[in-house]
C-alpha cells in the first residue's frame, strides 16, 4: 500500500514508492517540518498558515496569496503559484488544482499518486454565485475523496442563497425607510464581497467597510469583479451619507465606529452559523454561507462518484453515516494520528504507520 493519509494538524499524504510526504492546509508551522511540500486550498486563516513559512515549498493559487496578505498583513514566502486545471509535477507526483467555489482563488487539490487519485476539497461551494463559480467536478476518476463537512447534518436546511439575499435586501430597504442605518456584521473575506456585489446591483445605497475588507475588495476588483464601496476608517462625519448608507463591520465586532455615534441604527449579522445559534444581540441573523450545506455536499459527492469518502471537520462522523445511507458509498471520518501514551512514547516508523492505516 504505497500511499497512506491521515489528519495530523493538516492532511498528510505519504507515498512510499516515491518517498514523498505532502501536507495540505497545515494548521501549525511545526506540522510542515518533515514534509516535502505544503499545499494551501484558500486564503482563510484556518487553512493558510503555511504561507509565511520560508522553510518549506508552498503551492497555492496566486489570488489566494494576495488575499492572505490583505487579510493578515503578513508576507507570503517560498510559494509557487499554480493555475487551475493544469497538472504540475511535484516530487514526481502529478498534482492539479480545481476551482472550489467558496471564494476567489479557492482550490480543490487532486493528487495523482501511482496507486490512488485522491481529491481533497478544502472548503467548497457547489452553488454559482456572483463573485465565485461553483466547485468543479474532476474529469478523471477519483478513488478517494476527502471532503469538508462544516454543515454536514441534514437538519441544517438553508433557504436558497437567492432567497436569503432577498431577505437581506428587504431588511436593508425597510431599515432605511425607518431612517435607521443598516449595520451588518459579516466575514471579511467571501461573504462581504458577495453581499456588496448583490446590494450594488439591487439597490441605490452607499456601502461603507473597514480598511481590511476594503483591501480585500481591491483584490476582487483586480480579478474583474466590480464592487462599489467606501472605506470608513478615514471617514469624516460630514462624508457619511446616512440617508442611504449601509455599514459593514467585521463579524466579531461589537462596538460601532465613531461616525455612527448618536445615529439610529439597525443591527444584523450574516453568517451560516445562524442556522445553529441564536444571535440575540442582533435584530436579524441571516444564515448565509459560502460553504455547501449537507444536500449540496451529497450532490457533489454523487457527481464525483469516488470509491470511498473521508469526511473532515465539524460533523465528520455524522456526515459519513449520511453519505453511506444516502449514496451507498463507503465513508468514514478522516482519522487523526493517535497520541503516544506515557507508556509508549516511541514514534511509529513509516512501516508501522502503514499497518496502522490498514
What percentage of residues in the chain have a pLDDT greater than 70?
Answer: 92
CB 136 within 8 A of CB 98: yes
Q: What is the pLDDT of residues 327-354, one digit of tens each?
A: 999 999 998 654 433 333 444 444 444 4
Partners of 185 in beta bridges: 249, 269
Of the candidates 10, 348, 272, the residue with the CA atom closest to the CA atom of residue 146: 10
Q: What is the mean pLDDT of residues 195-204?
A: 97
CA distance 331 to 263: 53
Higher pLDDT residue, 352 or 26? 26
Q: What is the mean pLDDT of residues 124-136?
A: 96
CA distance 143 to 201: 42
User: String of b and e for 63-77 (b: at least 16 CB within 10 Å)?
Assistant: bbbbbbbbbbeeebe
pTM, rounded to two decimals: 0.91
Q: Rounded to the nearest 10 degrees, how much is the dihedral formed by the CA atoms of 143, 147, 153, 154?
A: -50
Per-residue pLDDT at 348: 47
Name the pairing type of β-strands 181-186 and 245-250: parallel
Per-residue pLDDT at 284: 97
Q: What is the mean pLDDT of residues 170-190?
A: 97
CA distance 182 to 204: 14
Q: What are phi and psi of 8, to 5 degrees?
A: -155, 85
Mean pLDDT of the chain: 91
Cβ within 8 Å of residue 246, ≥6 positions away:
172, 181, 182, 183, 184, 199, 205, 206, 207, 208
Residue 18 has pLDDT above 90, yes or no: no
Domains plus CATH for the chain?
A: 3-155+291-357 (3.60.15.10), 161-286 (3.40.50.10890)
What percentage of residues in the chain have a pLDDT greater than 90?
Answer: 84
Q: What is the mean pLDDT of residues 230-246?
A: 81
Alpha helices in 26-160 (DSSP H): 62-72
| Sheet containing 265-270, strands listed edge to edge, beginning at the edge strand earlier in sequence | 230-231, 206-209, 245-250, 181-186, 265-270, 284-286
Amino acid at each position: 500500500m504505497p500511499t497512506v493519509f491521515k489528519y495530523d494538524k493538516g492532511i498528510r499524504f505519504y507515498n512510499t514508492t516515491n518517498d514523498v510526504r505532502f501536507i495540505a492546509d497545515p494548521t501549525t508551522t511545526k506540522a510542515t517540518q518533515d514534509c516535502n511540500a505544503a499545499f494551501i486550498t484558500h486564503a482563510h486563516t484556518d487553512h493558510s498558515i503555511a504561507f509565511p513559512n520560508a522553510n518549506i515549498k508552498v503551492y497555492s493559487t496566486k489570488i489566494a496569496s494576495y488575499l492572505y496578505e490583505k487579510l493578515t498583513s503578513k508576507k507570503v514566502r517560498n510559494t509557487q503559484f499554480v493555475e487551475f486545471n493544469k497538472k504540475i509535477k511535484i516530487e514526481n507526483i502529478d498534482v492539479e488544482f480545481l476551482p472550489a467555489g467558496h471564494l476567489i482563488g479557492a482550490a480543490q487539490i487532486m493528487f495523482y499518486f501511482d496507486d490512488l487519485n485522491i481529491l481533497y476539497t478544502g472548503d467548497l461551494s457547489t452553488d454559482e454565485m456572483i463573485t465565485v463559480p461553483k466547485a468543479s467536478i474532476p474529469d478523471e476518476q477519483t478513488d478517494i475523496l476527502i471532503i469538508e463537512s462544516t454543515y454536514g447534518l441534514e437538519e441544517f436546511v438553508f433557504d436558497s442563497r437567492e432567497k436569503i439575499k432577498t431577505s437581506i435586501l428587504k431588511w436593508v430597504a425597510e431599515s432605511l425607510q425607518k431612517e435607521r442605518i443598516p449595520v451588518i456584521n459579516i466575514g471579511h473575506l467571501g461573504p462581504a464581497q458577495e453581499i456588496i456585489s448583490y446590494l450594488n446591483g439591487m439597490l441605490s445605497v452607499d456601502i461603507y467597510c473597514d480598511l481590511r475588507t476594503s483591501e480585500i475588495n481591491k483584490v476582487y476588483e483586480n480579478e474583474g469583479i466590480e464592487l462599489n464601496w467606501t472605506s470608513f476608517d478615514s471617514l469624516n462625519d460630514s462624508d457619511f451619507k446616512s440617508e442611504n448608507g449601509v455599514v459593514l463591520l467585521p463579524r466579531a465586532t461589537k462596538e460601532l465606529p465613531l461616525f455612527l455615534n448618536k445615529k439610529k441604527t439597525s443591527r444584523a449579522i450574516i453568517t451560516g452559523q445562524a442556522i445553529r445559534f441564536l444571535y440575540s444581540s442582533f435584530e436579524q441573523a441571516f444564515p448565509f454561507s459560502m460553504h455547501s450545506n449537507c444536500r449540496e455536499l451529497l450532490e457533489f459527492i454523487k457527481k464525483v462518484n469516488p470509491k470511498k469518502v473521508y469526511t473532515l471537520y465539524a460533523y465528520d462522523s455524522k456526515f459519513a453515516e449520511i453519505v453511506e445511507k444516502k449514496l451507498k458509498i463507503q465513508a468514514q471520518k478522516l482519522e487523526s494520528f493517535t497520541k503516544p501514551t506515557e507508556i509508549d512514547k516511541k514514534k511509529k516508523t513509516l512501516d508501522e504507520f502503514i499497518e496502522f492505516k490498514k
